[in-house]
Amino acid sequence: MRQQRETPHTYWRMVWKHFRQKHLAVAGLAVTLFFFAVAIFAPLLANDRPILVRHSGQWYWPIFSGLERVGPYHWKELKRDNLPRIYQGDLGAPGDFAVWPLVPYSATEYDLLASLEPPTVQHWFGTDDRGRDVLSRMIYGARISLSVGFVAVGIAVSIGILLGALAGYFGGWADQLVSRLIEILLTIPTFFMIIAIIAFLPPSIYNIMVVIGLTGWTGVARFVRAEFFKLKQLDFVLASRALGASSARLIFVHMLPNAMAPVLVSAVFGIAGAILTESSLSFLGFGVPPPTPSWGDILSQSRDYIEFAWWLTIFPGVAIFTSITAYNLVGEGLRDAMDPKLFR
């Protein structure tokens, strides 16, 4: 038992050792972690409420407690009175102060008087046609991108592993069935089908995740199927079978852990693909329902003001490009690091 646990540990340690030598892949990993942090801490990075308030000798945490006001002023009035900055002045009593987040705007807050402003000291990435802060929308958009990427790929990987394992393990008609299914999904114009299905369903981020997941499992299934074909002839599998292990035990306990390397690689590439699909859908107007912010949605707005509003095009585009590139770099680094030729 102990040995079983140690073997994968050293394998992953060796993968990490090879991965670490690839500077670009490590840079990609750093970027993905950065976007992760942005997504997780979005409410603390961009919010129309202060993080911390000192009022009449008391401490308040409006973002966490949902507090609407302290003293005579609503947060909005306070912000309008002063230039938005991290420290705000007097709240009514001497010694009072408020600490706003780095971006003192929420993703959905309107200000029609400040619409379509190029980047300024207040709005670092400019504002959109409703005067919403672009940076704030992008920070919250990272949540959409990442959650769609991970959930869609989670669905795709689960289906791919299951069907690929069944096809590879049982062969015969199970393999025929799965192979035909893969062929069907390969021939159907996937992106067009996704648009059509999404357009028919009520607009929701969950539908997008599910549809991308349901159409994206073929790569994983093919890898797992191929691995299983190889694995099932190996001695350790034959030995377990001779000892009376059930098919389920053979598949999930003995074979699957040995087939995970290509799954992981295609999952990482899959995240890049899902982020791209989500942003393309939002760009075409089939994405998450408004006013939920999404990178593709900001880009799609930019088309109406394309003559001058470069900030609506450049910033969200760079965000999409950077995150896709980062996942692709990590995926490629992993693939190289897991190349069995390196372990010989």
Partner 1 sequence: MANYIIKRLLQVIPTLLGITLITFLIIQLAPGNPATLKLQMAGQGEMGESAIAQQIIQQTKELYGLDKPLIVQYLLWVKRVFTLDFGNSFKDHRPVLAKIAERLPITIQLNVISIVLVYLIAIPFGVYSATHADTFSDRALTLFFFFLYSLPSFWVAVLLIMFFGGGDFLDVFPVYGISSIGADSWPFFRWLTDRLWHLILPVTCLTYGGLAYLSRLTRAEMLEVIREDYIRTARAKGLSERVVIFKHALRNALLPIITLLAFLLPAMFGGSVIIESIFSIPGMGQLGFESVLSRDYPVIMAITTISALLTLVGLLISDILYATLDPRIKLE
Residue ranges binding partner 1 (CB under 8 A): 24, 176, 180-181, 183-184, 186-193, 195-197, 199-202, 272, 276, 279-280, 283-284, 299, 302-303, 306-308, 310, 313, 317, 320-321, 324-325, 328-329, 332
As measured in angstroms, the least distance from the Cβ of 305 to partner 1 is 9
Q: What is the largest CA-CA distance in the chain?
A: 81
**Ranges assigned E (strand) in the chain:** 52-55, 58-60, 69-70, 73-74, 87-88, 97-99
Per the structure block, which two tokens stand in for 200? 């028919």
As measured in angstroms, the least distance from the Cβ of 176 to partner 1 is 8
Task: Give the integer Cα–Cα distance in Å for 221 and 226.
Answer: 9
| CA dist list (Å): 253 to 11, 119, 230, 237, 308 | 17, 55, 16, 10, 58
Task: Give the integer Cα–Cα distance in Å for 149 and 66.
Answer: 29
As measured in angstroms, the least distance from the Cβ of 51 to partner 1 is 33
Nearer to partner 1, 133 or 175 (CB): 175
Nearer to partner 1, 27 or 52 (CB): 27
* ∠ Cα 212 218 221 (to 5°): 125
Residue appearing with tokens 């190349």: 339
As measured in angstroms, the least distance from the Cβ of 259 to partner 1 is 22
Nearer to partner 1, 46 or 194 (CB): 194
Nearer to partner 1, 195 or 263 (CB): 195
As measured in angstroms, the least distance from the Cβ of 34 to partner 1 is 17
Cβ 278 vs Cβ 148: under 8 Å: yes
What are the CB-based long-range contacts (under 8 Å, 24+) for 187-191? 190/215, 190/216, 191/277, 191/280
Nearer to partner 1, 240 or 322 (CB): 322
Nearer to partner 1, 12 or 310 (CB): 310
Rg (CA), the chain: 25
As measured in angstroms, the least distance from the Cβ of 326 to partner 1 is 9
The residues, any chain, with a CB within 8 Å of residue 344's CB and separated by 6 or more, are none
Residue appearing with tokens 């357009």: 199
As measured in angstroms, the least distance from the Cβ of 273 to partner 1 is 11
Cβ 163 vs Cβ 223: under 8 Å: no
Nearer to partner 1, 59 or 200 (CB): 200
Nearer to partner 1, 235 or 307 (CB): 307
As measured in angstroms, the least distance from the Cβ of 229 to partner 1 is 13
